[in-house]
């Protein structure tokens, strides 16, 4: 994060604070569980989709991961 702030300040000067603030706002709006929390939730969705796809091709039902557990 500090590296991004450094390069933004070099490229945009005083406008870097505005850009960095906008990035923070976008992260809070679109990733409400944070970066790692959102990644974990998406990983569970991908695993459930993979199991569903395998069950379509093999005809067997496998247990899908519970979304409530992290």
Single pTM value for the model: 0.48
Residues in the chain: 70
Shared-domain flag, residues 26 and 1? yes
For residue 4, the enclosing domain spans 1-30
In the prediction, which pLDDT does 35 show? 77
Is the confidence at residue 9, as pLDDT, over 80? yes
Domains identified in the chain, total number: 2
Q: Which long-range contacts (CB under 8 A, 24 or more apart) does 35-38 make?
A: 37/70
Residues in Cβ contact with 8 at an 8 Å cutoff, skipping those fewer than 6 apart: 16, 19, 20
24 and 49 co-located in one domain: no
Whether the predicted pLDDT of 70 surpasses 60: no
How high does pLDDT run on average in the chain?
Answer: 77
**Span 42-63, pLDDT tens digits:** 777 777 877 877 787 787 655 5
Query: Is 6's pLDDT higher than 60?
Result: yes
């Amino acid at each position: 994060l500090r590296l991004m702030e450094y390069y933004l300040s070099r490229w945009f000067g005083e406008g870097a604070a505005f850009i960095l603030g906008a990035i923070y706002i976008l992260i809070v709006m679109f990733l409400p569980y944070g970066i790692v929390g959102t990644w974990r939730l998406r990983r569970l969705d991908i695993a459930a989709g993979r199991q569903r796809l395998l069950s379509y091709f093999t005809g067997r039902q496998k247990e899908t991961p519970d979304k409530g557990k992290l």
